[in-house]
């Protein structure tokens, strides 16, 4: 498929994102999420929802993906299989049209030869990755509290979440930041409780060396997710809620789904380290 | 001066070969994660790496070429065979291809299906933003990601004059590079990364 065709599809996606392109049934919801707003008074948690808490000296953004459960994966696989079958059926029709057009062009040299359709196969069939259906963008706006430091509280569907990177999604959908494509961590967010990620380090100012137009910068190198209890005390509105420190586990590599700068989470003592680019599990589990 | 700053900054963000070589199992060390490898699958097989031509890397500098070493360079790592270097470069290429200028993407609300031959590792969407930011920014972002990824893997970077670099490299802006041509270049880069003789000092990240 040509780049022009891909561009056309992308533009179509951007303009018709509210319309299912493949599934005829109502699409499944793998996760729901919303920022908890900054309102006075104690917070009443929904016992069916999980809450993710993070704190930072500055406004910051953090992007997560929900890790599929076995049920999620089965649903996703079925969706893909249905879409693949539909694509095969469409291909059969297109192929018939192509063959008819080809015969017509042979019979009448003034007719142009049609372009042969691409046959969908399991190898070339592209389906939206599961991760792109389960993103959770926290910050940089919609802070739960902003006195002295920034507190973010995000309501999510309970489950396991992977930290994809310090990525900010602006209200217009624009994204900036870097993906932790080459190493990161996951954690569980359980219903009825707040999972505290700790402190998300604010990005350091980037000083590009003179003459180096493609300096990668220093996206990592700062200790991630340090305990926030002393430096950035819990907001009093959350004091009655059950808050637990996130238990991090390492996760492997992922594609650069948003086409951003590539990076990785800095090493975390007792959780993970790197041997060159290979990720070593230090949790002992 | 610049090299010193590069080295200092690199120390903060990338593992050095010595660190990697000295990696020892620690208490609680559960070994490598199974998905520590490339998320793009194995690089295409090469039956006989010796058939991949080694580019002519020799040059006589006039002192000005170093100003372009941020753009034109080759990677090299000692004690690395061709297959390893090819796998590493192909993985880094996966992170660095199909870039979207670093800004702007709208997530489709529903699953999308289609046939996107050769689109592995990239994404669809954000092309309007790419048109705004232009080809130069996409080319720059490719260099950024290749340098980051290869530094994580412990490769050094050596500057080259543009005329030498062009023999076995490509830039990728708004228009892509077809896969056959891409793999030809990547294999040559892997030849250099595993066995090339590169003059000049390592530049670090």
pLDDT tens digit sequence for A18-55: 334 444 567 789 999 999 999 998 888 999 999 999 99
Residue A214's domain comprises 31-67+134-281
Highest mean pLDDT range out of A21-25, A205-209, B107-111, B129-133?
Answer: A205-209
Which sign, positive or negative, has the C-alpha torsion A77, A80, A86, A87?
negative
Nearest to A132 among B34, B108, B126 (CB): B108
A30 → chain B, closest CA residue: B110
Tell me if chain B has a CB within 8 Å of the CB of A283.
Answer: yes
A13 within domain boundaries:
no
Q: Could you read off the pLDDT of B52-69 as tens digits, one per residue?
A: 999 999 999 888 888 899
Span of A170-174, A258-262, B57-61, B77-81 with lowest mean pLDDT: A170-174
Selection from A121, A124, A36, A28 nearest residue A78 by Cα: A28
Q: Do A211 and B95 touch (CB under 8 A)?
A: no
Q: What is the pLDDT of residue A221?
A: 59
Assess if residue A155 is contained within a domain: yes
Q: Of residues B188 and A24, which shows the higher confidence score?
A: B188
- pLDDT tens per residue across span A197-209: 999 987 666 778 8
Which tops the pLDDT comparison, B84 or A109? B84
Determine the Cα–Cα distance for residues B205 and A74; give it in Å rounded to an integer. 42
User: Does residue A181 lie within any of the structural domains?
Assistant: yes
Q: Residue B112: which of A21, A221, A278 has the nearest Cβ?
A: A21
Measured between beta carbons, which residues in chain A are less than 8 angstroms from residue B30? Answer: 280-285
CB count within 10 Å of CB B123 equals 21
What per-residue confidence (pLDDT) applies to A239? 92
pLDDT, tens digit (0-9, with 9 covering 90-100), for A71-114: 999 999 999 899 899 999 999 999 999 999 999 999 998 999 99
Report B:24-83 residues touching A (Cβ under 8 A): 26-40, 67, 70-71
- The total number of structural domains in chain A stands at 1
Question: Residue A276: which of B113, B123, B154 has the nearest Cβ?
Answer: B154
Would the pLDDT of A218 be above 70?
A: no
How large is the ipTM? 0.83
Q: Is A18 on the interface with B (CB under 8 A)?
A: yes
pTM of the model: 0.82
pLDDT higher than 60, residue A270: yes
Q: How far apart are CA B193 and CA B73, in angstroms?
A: 11
Provide the β-strand partners of residue B114: A126
Assigned domain for A215 exists: yes
Within 102-161 of A, beta carbons closer than 8 Å to B belong to 118-120, 124-128, 132-133, 135
Query: Residue A211: closest CA among chain B residues belongs to which residue?
Result: B67
Closest in A118, A213, A254 to B115, CB measured: A118
Average pLDDT score over residue span B126-147 = 75
A212 interface with B at CB cutoff 8 Å: yes
Question: Residue A102 domain-assigned?
Answer: no
Q: How confident is the model at residue B130 (pLDDT cuts 50, 70, 90)?
A: low
Q: Is A76 among the domain residues?
A: no
pLDDT of residue A157: 97
Contact A218 B102 (CB under 8 A): no
pLDDT for res B133: 59
């Amino acid at each position: 498929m040509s780049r022009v065709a891909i561009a056309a599809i992308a533009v179509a996606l951007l303009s018709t994102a509210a319309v299912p392109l493949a599934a005829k049934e109502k699409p499944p919801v793998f996760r729901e999420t919303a920022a908890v707003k900054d309102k006075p008074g104690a917070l009443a948690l929904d016992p069916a929802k999980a809450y993710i808490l993070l704190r930072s000296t500055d406004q910051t953004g953090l992007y997560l993906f929900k890790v599929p459960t076995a049920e999620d994966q089965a649903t996703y696989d079925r969706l893909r299989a249905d879409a693949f079958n539909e694509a095969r059926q469409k291909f059969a029709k297109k192929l018939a049209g192509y063959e008819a057009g080809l015969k017509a062009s042979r019979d009448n040299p003034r007719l142009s030869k049609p372009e042969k359709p691409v046959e969908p196969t399991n190898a070339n069939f592209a389906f939206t990755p599961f991760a792109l259906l389960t993103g959770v963008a926290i910050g940089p706006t919609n802070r739960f509290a902003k006195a002295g430091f920034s507190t973010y509280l995000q309501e999510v569907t309970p489950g396991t979440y992977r930290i994809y990177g310090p990525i900010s999604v602006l209200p217009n959908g624009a994204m900036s930041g870097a993906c932790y494509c080459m190493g990161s961590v996951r954690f569980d967010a359980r219903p009825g409780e707040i999972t505290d990620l700790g402190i998300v380090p604010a990005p350091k100012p980037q000083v590009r060396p003179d003459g180096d137009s493609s300096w990668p910068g220093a996206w990592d190198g700062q200790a991630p997710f340090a305990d926030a209890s002393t430096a950035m005390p819990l907001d009093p509105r959350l004091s009655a809620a059950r808050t637990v420190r996130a238990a991090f586990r390492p996760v492997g590599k992922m594609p650069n789904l948003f086409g951003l700068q590539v990076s990785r989470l800095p090493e975390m003592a007792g959780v993970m380290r790197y041997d060159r680019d290979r990720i070593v599990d230090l949790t002992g589990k | 001066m610049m090299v010193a700053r590069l080295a200092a900054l690199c120390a903060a963000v990338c593992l050095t070969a010595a660190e990697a070589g000295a990696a020892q199992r620690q208490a609680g060390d559960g070994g490598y994660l199974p998905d520590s490898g490339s998320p793009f699958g194995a690089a295409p097989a090469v039956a006989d790496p010796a058939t991949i031509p080694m580019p002519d890397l020799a040059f006589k500098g006039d002192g000005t070429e170093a100003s372009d070493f941020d753009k034109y360079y080759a990677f090299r790592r000692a004690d690395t065979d061709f297959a390893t270097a090819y796998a590493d470069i192909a993985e880094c290429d996966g992170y660095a291809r199909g870039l979207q200028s670093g800004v702007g993407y709208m997530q489709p609300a529903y699953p999308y299906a289609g046939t996107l031959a050769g689109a592995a590792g990239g994404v669809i969407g954000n092309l309007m933003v790419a048109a705004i930011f232009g080809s130069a920014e996409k080319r720059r972002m490719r260099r950024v990601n290749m340098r980051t990824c290869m530094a994580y893997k412990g490769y050094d970077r050596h500057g080259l004059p543009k005329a030498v670099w062009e023999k076995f490299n490509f830039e990728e802006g708004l228009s892509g590079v077809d896969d056959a041509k891409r793999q030809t270049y990547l294999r040559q880069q892997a030849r250099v990364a595993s066995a090339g003789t590169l003059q000049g000092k390592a530049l670090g990240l």
